[in-house]
Amino acid sequence: MIERILFVCLGNICRSPSAEAVLRAKAAARGLSLDIDSAGTGDWHLGEPPYGPMQAAARARGYDLSGLRARRVGAADFDRFDLILAMDADNRADLARLAPAGARARLAMFTDYLPDGEAGAVPDPYYTRDFDGTLDLVERASDGLLDVLER
């Protein structure tokens, strides 16, 4: 059974903290109890709150990211979580390199939970500046993930 879910992006200040907050809100709305966290593969922003423009876009949709702090994903996360969801192919490749032999967690792409062919990655809004586009994908993939978990 999947109860512990970790979202992973590059900086842990845009995509993965957004996914953490969105999935937490949507799971609570469905009455599902999940342990949800996020982390980054990079170390540039350790200890920092999510990026200001990302926080503002999320806040406009009712998601409060202000209490989250960036951390780096580590080998122990592969034992702590049931499912680790990468935002893009680079994140996934970095995670596959980090995974200890015999790791418990299943590694997948967050976009696997979108309707077929809709997107193969959540583009990085730190570079695209499309914070709302990121939230659209994150909300839709979260709905898809919860549909699978409830099945």
Active site residue 79: no
**Residue 85 near ligand 4NP by CB under 6 A:** no
Site map (CB under 6 A) of ligand 4NP, residues 25-54, x = contact: ---------------x---x----------
The residue number with the shortest CB distance to ligand 4NP is 11
From 10, 34, 65, 83, residue interacting with ligand 4NP (rule: CB under 6 A): 10
CA distances 28 to 24, 58, 131, 137, Å, are 6, 17, 23, 19
- Cβ proximity to ligand 4NP: between 11 and 113 the closer is 11
> Alpha-carbon Rg of the chain, whole angstroms?
14
Q: Mind giving me the DSSP string for 85-98?
A: EESSHHHHHHHHHH
Known active-site residue 15: yes
Q: Which of 15, 27, 73, 142 touches ligand 4NP by CB under 6 A? A: 15
Q: Which of 37, 88, 94, 124 is catalytic?
A: 124
| CA separation for the pair 54, 48 (Å, rounded) | 13
